Amino acid sequence: MKATGQEHPEAVLGIAGRFRIGGRAIAAVELRAGHINDSYVVSTEAGSRFLLQRINGYVFPSPARVMANIVRITRHLKRKLGPGSARNRLTLVSAVDGEMWTETAEEKRAADWWRMYELIEDTTTELRASTPEQAFLAAQAFGRFETQLVDLPPPPLYETIPGFHDTLSRFEALDRALASASDSVAGNDRRRQAVAEIRSVAGHRDLAARLGAAAAHDLPRRTVHNDCKISNILFDRTTGEALCVVDLDTTMPGLAAHDFGDMVRSMSHRADEDTRETSRARVDPELFTALAQGYLDGAGFLTATERRSLVDGALVLTLEQAVRFLTDHLDGNVYFRVERPGQNLDRCRVQLALLESLLARDADLRRVVGGATA
Ligand code: GN1
Ligand code: MG
């Protein structure tokens, strides 16, 4: 069963009180951001604010591993960035029992895991890049984040979602969703709504192998963020500076091309992920160029082979996300939170429109990445 849902405000305040927040929690306001976890901004009577999050246990089979990774990442960044860096990295707040999370068990539901961060004040988030400068700054920030993690002491981080960017197995999950959709009236309806999209992703299936095991032979496994969308960057409200990379749940071993691919998927065009105007999901050469320049500037460690893989990353990640939204539509929206029926199918349509436009400009994009100077 999906482990998300609205929590009673009193209950949220009670959970907040289990953390070391230096005073009584007096307000908790739900933040409708992201498709996965539940987030609340908690204020204390002393005037401090925190971000309280419930980790989605359906999506993350081992919240303990998610938290173990985040503890290591945040400590490493604190050491590395040094004094005065509190606005450039996330800071976990420990629970009163000394752990970095707390569990609540409800009837009929597996234990829920909650964690808390200090809130970084006076920041804004964006749903799409409005200018090439902003795209540059966001891509540079994700590139720097990877650079900061190059010397994370071993062992590698846990894979919090095994096979996260195994695009071939994402297609297999789609096959299973298609088969089980045929078992119910509602499933058949959802399948009928998606006939064109099912055909379209099938037509691109060969792309899924581009970054697969054989192709990845020369591509080093790095510690990457794995969710490089613009909404995972905090910008300074006054200066517009890209201050801090957030959402560390899927930071784990992966390919640089995955991260760059996600940036292109989410920032190289003028469409929100949730728009119904698919015509806006067209790659904008200026935004793409800014992303390539920003990322190469931030991620100075990339090898020539990795650099050549970046456009493939954009194609594969956009296709993969289309497949994931489509699969969830067919499954009845059990993974990505939706506000209205058909939303995951609409999200899939945006990804497919973008994919077509990336493919149409494939040669230009490779020239841009090849010519961009770090
Ligand atoms: C999910 O956590 P959130 O909502 O930022 C998803 C990403 C997708 C993204 C699409 C753990 O991210 O993989 O790319 O939605 N995270 C997980 O917006 O599946
Ligand atoms: Mg995420």
Ligand 1: distance of its center to the CA of 24 in Å? Answer: 32
Share of the chain above pLDDT 90, in %: 89
In angstroms, the Cα distances linking 90 to 233, 248, 374 are: 11, 9, 27
User: Does the C-beta of 34 come closer than 6 Å to ligand 1?
Assistant: yes
Query: For residue 2, what pLDDT is reported?
Result: 39
Q: Tell me the C-alpha distance between 355 and 343, whole Å.
A: 19
Ligand 2: distance of its center to the CA of 227 in Å? Answer: 5
Atom of ligand 1 nearest to the CA of 335: 19
pLDDT tens readout for residues 60-76 = 989 999 999 999 999 99
User: Does the C-beta of 36 come closer than 6 Å to ligand 1?
Assistant: yes
Q: Which residue is it, tokens 């720097």? A: 144
**What mean pLDDT value characterizes the chain?**
94
Q: Tell me the C-alpha distance between 22 and 2, whole Å.
A: 32
Query: Ligand 2 (ion): which residues have CB within 5 A?
Result: 227, 247
Mutate to test the pocket of ligand 1, among 36, 69, 165, 250 (most ligand atoms within 8 A of CB): 36
Atom of ligand 1 nearest to the CA of 249: 11
CB burial readout 35-63, b (16+ within 10 A) else e: bbbbbbebbbeeebebbbbbbbbebbebb
Which residue has its alpha carbon closest to ligand 1 atom 17?
Answer: 36
Q: Tell me the C-alpha distance between 39 and 232, whole Å.
A: 14
Say whether pLDDT at 236 is over 50: yes
Taking Cα atoms as reference points, which of 321, 307, 301 lies closest to residue 222?
301
Mutate to test the pocket of ligand 1, among 2, 35, 262, 338 (most ligand atoms within 8 A of CB): 35
Taking Cα atoms as reference points, which of 110, 107, 111 lies closest to residue 99?
111
Query: For residue 54, what pLDDT is reported?
Result: 94
What's the token pair of residue 50? 């925190």
Q: Tell me the C-alpha distance between 94 and 112, whole Å.
A: 16
Which residue has its alpha carbon closest to ligand 1 atom 9?
Answer: 227
Say whether pLDDT at 4 is over 50: no
Which residue has its alpha carbon closest to ligand 1 atom 1?
Answer: 35
Report the range of poorest mean pLDDT among 47-61, 88-102, 109-123.
109-123
CA 212 to chain CA mean position, Å? 20
In 3-state terms the chain splits into helix, strand, coil percentages (rounded to 5) of 45, 15, 40
Q: Tell me the C-alpha distance between 46 and 158, whole Å.
A: 37
Provide the whole-model pTM.
Answer: 0.95
